[in-house]
Chains A and B, each alone.
Chain A
């Protein structure tokens, strides 16, 4: 079969001939048995290609199905990972919040006094301050309390003794010491905040909130930020 004849058959089967060409072709088929046979064969070929394509499509869908399953499993893993991540974050937040409701976490650092200050001329105070700076509050507290018996109104002794007692979980002692510091002392602002936290530990949250709100309202207070943070736990 020549290419032109083959093209003609294709065009006829695809409906690409003009009405006139179509009529001519139909007449030719009637007259030409060989062409009729070629047309039949082409129809069979086309049908067979269609069948093969349908099989191929079915197989492709089977493969696609496997791919979909893998994709869904992957998506599922991601969902699981997301759920796990949310769980971890939730647990962390809860842990963080629970942790932050511990008043001791709101205690602020106090480095202690340098030894060359006037009061440090007292050898026992210097030793106590060294113990305090070294974090050995069990040693520092009795020395400071002894010195307080010699000098009961000394605000420095009252302040640091209070810190030692507070950190040694003798909250009532700490509150008693800090309450003796008058409002003119250089430690008065710091004491205000420390008392708020001590009342919290001592189970008096109303007093704590009252003091913290007072500190919050004071823009010049050195512990304003800390007070705001502590107040949030009461929301």
Chain B
């Protein structure tokens, strides 16, 4: 991998999936060996963690948490992986403790967070249930940051206006489904 860190970040921002797979291929084996050696995880666990690390890198770049890096991409990926492993170990301990010290009670913050996650998961499921090309159009536009010209090109539409109209219809259909579901009451 000879690509500069900044070029990698720019490629991820531009919605390139290829670069993520390239990173995975380049560092997977090294990460797996490192994780097994230093954290006593299995090969499958190490691979799973590294996949999460690549997804984590993607999310952090997309949400703007990572705009430039002082370290190499490899070091960054390894630190995400290390955090995932350590959090997982810590979580296991906390969960065990929480179970031991469990008392009935009501924590509003936790409840709100849980409800937010619940809403997101329901919307996610409604989105995932959408057919093609709606799913692809919404993904390209909202997640991968494509402009309408690129969306049109990728889906095979005549021009950006046709793609824009289709995106609007897809979004309308999704929002209607949300409104028809039980989420309507929660959201209102």
Q: Identify the A interface with B (CB < 8 A).
A: 1, 3, 6-7, 10, 14, 37, 40-41, 44-54, 57-58, 60-62, 64-65, 68
CB distance from A68 to the nearest CB of B (A): 6
Q: Would you call B139 an interface residue if the criterion is a C-beta within 8 Å of the partner chain's C-beta atoms?
A: yes
A61 touching B25 in the complex, CB below 8 Å, given contacts A3-B168, A49-B143: no
Q: Are B188 and A37 in contact (CB under 8 A)?
A: yes
Q: Which A residues touch B17, using CB under 8 A?
A: 57, 60
Q: How far is the CA of A138 from the CA of B124 in the complex (A)?
A: 96
Q: Of B3-11, B55-63, B151-159, which stretch is located at the interface? A: B55-63
Q: Identify the B interface with A (CB < 8 A).
A: 17, 20-21, 24-25, 28, 47, 51-52, 54-55, 58-59, 62, 119-121, 123-124, 126-128, 138-139, 141-145, 164-165, 168, 171-172, 174-175, 178, 187-188
Nearest to B165 among chain A residues (CB) is A3
Query: Which secondary structure characterizes the binding site on chain A?
Result: helix
A51 touching B55 in the complex, CB below 8 Å, given contacts A37-B188, A45-B142, A68-B25: no
Q: How far is the CA of A51 from the CA of B59 in the complex (A)?
A: 9
Q: How far is the CA of A3 from the CA of B171 in the complex (A)?
A: 10
Among A6, A37, A61, find the residue whose CB has the most chain B CB atoms closer than 10 A: A61
- Pick the contact of A6: B25, B123, B143, B171 (CB < 8 A): B171
Q: How many A-B residue pairs have CB under 8 A?
A: 87
Q: Are A47 and B52 in contact (CB under 8 A)?
A: no
Q: Are A41 and B175 in contact (CB under 8 A)?
A: yes
Nearest to A13 among chain B residues (CB) is B142
Q: Which A residues touch B20, using CB under 8 A?
A: 57, 61
Q: Are B120 and A62 in contact (CB under 8 A)?
A: no
Q: Are A1 and B25 in contact (CB under 8 A)?
A: no
Q: Are A64 and B124 in contact (CB under 8 A)?
A: no
Nearest to B128 among chain A residues (CB) is A52
Q: Which A residues touch B62, using CB under 8 A?
A: 50
Nearest to A59 among chain B residues (CB) is B51
CB distance from B188 to the nearest CB of A (A): 7
Q: Which A residues touch B52, using CB under 8 A?
A: 58
Q: How far is the CA of A125 from the CA of B12 in the complex (A)?
A: 94
- 10 residue pairs, one from A and one from B, having the closest CB atoms: A48-B123, A48-B124, A61-B51, A53-B143, A49-B142, A3-B168, A46-B142, A52-B124, A51-B124, A49-B143
Q: How far is the CA of A69 from the CA of B138 in the complex (A)?
A: 32
